[in-house]
Amino acid sequence: MGPLFVNNIISENTNFLLAFFIGIGFGMVLESSGFSSSRKLAGIFYGYDTVVLKVFFTAALTAMLGLLFMSLFGWIDLSLVYVNPTYLTSAIIGGAVMGVGFIIGGFCPGTSFCGAAIGKIDAMVFVGGLFLGIILFSETYPLWEKIYLAGFKGSPKLSESLGLSDGLLALGVILMAVAMFYVAEWAERKFPREEY
């Protein structure tokens, strides 16, 4: 995984095997956290259930701090960690489309597979729509290519874009997380919902 394969520490086959087991583990965590329930997922938009927000934000914080500390101890070279290139226009449009789909369908792409894996019909329909969308986009790509590639910003790190050190940005994100967790707890008390 990551720079282990790039630096020939593990083989390509081992890399795929690790990715397979990590994927299974990730799916198990999603399911045990209730992410296969479209009601639980939609609850974030209505304020009655913020578990999704808390779990994903905690995962992001864990990954951020893990990478930061491994970099500080010299265990990982952050320059070898792939950062997706930023295409601002398509990111905004794609985010809006996914957000609307999330609100309407109650799933994001990852959680729809989680729900489909345990036999939820609504999740299977969502996965079918996801594949249909991929096929339609692929077949009509020449129509969307200019929009898709517009607003290219390279592969910037947020800390570099804001002119902050990685550690200071991490502190800021931690403080934002604490505030967000507090607001999430307030929202759950303010907008309670009967058990489902």
**Do the beta carbons of residue 119 and residue 37 sit within 8 Å?**
no
Query: Which SS3 state, helix, strand or coil, does residue 191 take?
Result: coil
Rounded Cα distance between 35 and 83, Å, is 26
Nearby residues of 195 by Cβ (< 8 Å), 6 or more positions away? none
Domains of the chain, by residue range, sit at: 3-190
- pTM metric for this prediction: 0.72
**Do the beta carbons of residue 51 and residue 33 sit within 8 Å?**
yes
Which residues make beta-bridge pairs with 192? none
- pLDDT < 50: residue spans in the chain: 1
Give 39-70 pLDDT, tens digit per residue: 888 788 888 888 888 888 898 899 999 999 98
Q: Which pLDDT belongs to residue 1? A: 45
Count of positions (residues) in the chain:
196
Which residues make beta-bridge pairs with 87? 152
Structure tokens at 53: 């927000």
CA triple 86-133-153, angle to 5 deg: 5
